[in-house]
Amino acid sequence: MRERFANSRSWGLRRGQPRANPLGRAPSRRGVSRSLCLWAIVFVVILGAWIGRVGARNTPPSEGRLEQTWGDRGLEDGRLQKPRAAAVDSHDRIHLVDMSARLQVFDRNGKLLRPPVRTPEFRYGKPTGLSIGPDDHLLVADTHYARVLVYSPEGELLPERTIGGTRGQGPGEFGLVTDAVVDSAGNVYVAERGDLDRIQKFSPQGEFLRQWGSHGDGPGQFRRPQNLAIDEQDRIWVVDACNHRIQVFDGEGELLQMWGSYGTDLGRLSYPYDLVVTDEAVYVCEFGNHRVQKFTHDGVSLGVWGEAGHGNDQLHNPWALVRDSRQRLYVIDTNHHRVHRVHF
């Protein structure tokens, strides 16, 4: 019997067979249980950490749905070369400006509607902000020329309505203009960065009314106010990009709300570059996190759409975000030279 057992090949431990032990003793049953418990705990901890990490990254699942992607890289009419700002007019036409300083107008499906026009000067830099004013006039933040250009709905430059044009720190002077928006009364708010990070308010006639903000990370201060939005109550929403937060002001420059902090998790922000404010939610386009995040008005995250990558539904440093009348978002996927239409 002993010979038979010794000759047979043994694979793994057999039931009842004592475990080889360097001390020459079989471990007690309690010891086995204890080590099993320890291993189980370690396993649970690792699993938990992994789930937590994955969960932090992915949960809650994206609620957005990609409807369409359009745009090709190029300098020909209808193509895009790093588009950085967008606006949607009342006819749901998408206005884009890219690194060739061309203002192009597309329909919802990416069809070019008319020949592009170039800003008058672009040698020192290209515009980085667009918005729609009263009567579908297009406001172009001509960033490096310290001014806001106004175009008619037909794409004609209206020089008499240009705001600014003088570089400086005084009232009505600008550094790098990032965006301009118009409230229901026709007042124009212009954001700028550079020497001064501030917002200036102008009357409908273009007279300087007031200004607020400075460079810094305190409440009411900015580090690169990259874009503005106006809500139904004429509150001014500012994406404070390098402070990774959103600030909300009333028309007099009183800070009403401030939320957001740097991070990659849900609810955090990394270089918010643009935003869309609706009655229900605030959509923020994150340049650093390569995504669009949906928040309540109080800054509670409701989900994200998009992730970093080079796939069809992935983003690479998106700069701008707009929304049409059918509540569809257009994400300007800058480094991919394209536009995603998303239901979110």
Partner 1 sequence: MFGYNLTFESPLWLLLLAVVPVLWWASLRSLAGLGRVRRVMALLLRSIVLLVLIAALADAQLVRTTDRLTVIYLVDQSDSIPVATREQMIEYVKRSWERHRDVQRGDRGAVVVFGRDADVEIGPIADDPPLYGSIETFVSGEFTNLEAAMKMAIALYPEDTAKRVVILTDGNENMGNARRQAARLAAAGVSIDVVPVFTEQQVDVAVEKVTIPADVRRGQPFELRVVLNNNAPPGSGPVTGTLQITRQGSGDAEVIAESRVELPPGKTAITPDVPERIDDPDFYTYEAIFRADQDGIDLQSRNNRAKTFTHVKGRGQVLLIEDADHPGEFGPLVDALKQENILVNVKSTRELFTSLAELQRYDSVVLANVPRVSENATESFTDEQIDMLVRNTQQMGAGLVMIGGPSAFGLGGWANTELEKAMPVDFRIANTKIALVGALCLIMHAGEMANGNYWQERIAKLSIETLGREDYCGLIHYDGGQKNRGNDWLWSRNGRGMLKVGGRRQMMLGRIGRMTPGDMPEFDPGLQMAAKEFAKLTEPAHKHMIIISDGDPTQASGAILRKLANAKVKITTVGVGTHGPADSRELTRIARATGGKYYNVKNAKALPRIYQREVRRLAKSLEFLEPKGLQPQIVSDHEIVRGIEAPPPITGFVLTQRKESPLVDVAMVSPKPADESNTTLLASWTYGLGRTVALTTDAGARWANSWTGWDDYQKQFSQIVRWSMRPIDESESMLVSTDVEDGKVKVVITAWDEDEQFANSLDLGGSVVDPELKERGLKIEQTAPGRYEGEFDADDAGGYFITINPGDGRGVIRKGVSVPYSSEYRERESNLSLLKELAERVPEGGAPGRYIEDTTGGGMESLLEVDVFRHDLPKARSNQGIWHLLLFVGSCVFFGDVFIRRVHVGFGWLTPLMVRARDFVLRREPTPQASETMARLRSRKAEVTDHIEQRKSTTRFEPAADEPVDLDTLSATETSTPRAEPQSPEKRSLTPEEQSEEEDYTSRLLKAKKDVWKGKTPPGQN
- Given the complex with partner 1, which of 270 and 278 has the nearer CB atom? 270
Q: Where are the beta strands (DSSP E) in 107-187?
A: 117-118, 129-132, 138-142, 147-151, 163-164, 176-182
Residue 86 to residues 10, 182, 258, 332, Cα–Cα distance (Å): 72, 15, 25, 7
Least spacing, CB of residue 15 vs partner 1, in Å: 9
Nearest CA among 147, 155, 221 for reference residue 179: 147
Binding mask 17-56 for partner 1 (x = CB under 8 A): ----------------------------------------
Interface with partner 1: number of residues (CB under 8 A): 37
- Given the complex with partner 1, which of 36 and 75 has the nearer CB atom? 75
Q: Which of 144, 147, 198, 338 binds partner 1 (CB under 8 A)?
A: 144
Least spacing, CB of residue 287 vs partner 1, in Å: 7
From the CB of residue 100, how many other CB atoms can be counted at a distance below 10 Å? 17
Q: Which of 9, 23, 124, 135 binds partner 1 (CB under 8 A)?
A: 124
Q: Which of 12, 16, 218, 311 binds partner 1 (CB under 8 A)?
A: 16
Residue 193 found at the interface with partner 1 (CB under 8 A): yes
Amino acid at 274: D
Nearest CA among 317, 225, 323, 241 for reference residue 282: 323
8 Å CB contact between 198 and 214: yes
Q: Which of 208, 212, 259, 262 binds partner 1 (CB under 8 A)?
A: 262
- Given the complex with partner 1, which of 14 and 326 has the nearer CB atom? 14
Residue 215 found at the interface with partner 1 (CB under 8 A): yes
Residue 264 found at the interface with partner 1 (CB under 8 A): yes
Strand ranges across the sheet with 236-240: 225-230, 236-240, 245-249, 255-259
Residue 194 found at the interface with partner 1 (CB under 8 A): yes
- Given the complex with partner 1, which of 170 and 186 has the nearer CB atom? 170
Give dist(CA 149, CA 300) in Å, integer: 36
Give dist(CA 177, CA 194) in Å, integer: 9
Binding mask 287-316 for partner 1 (x = CB under 8 A): xxxx-----------------x-------x
Q: How would you label 47-84 residue by residue, b for 16+ Cβ within 10 Å and e otherwise?
A: eeeeeeeeeeeeeeebebebeebbbeeeeeebbbbbbb
Residues 6+ apart with CB under 8 A from 256: 235, 248, 249, 250
Q: Which of 48, 52, 55, 74 binds partner 1 (CB under 8 A)?
A: 74
Least spacing, CB of residue 5 vs partner 1, in Å: 8
Residues that bind partner 1 (CB under 8 A): 1-2, 5, 16, 74-76, 99, 124-126, 143-144, 167, 175-176, 193-195, 197, 215, 223-224, 241-242, 262, 264, 270-271, 287-290, 308, 316-317, 335
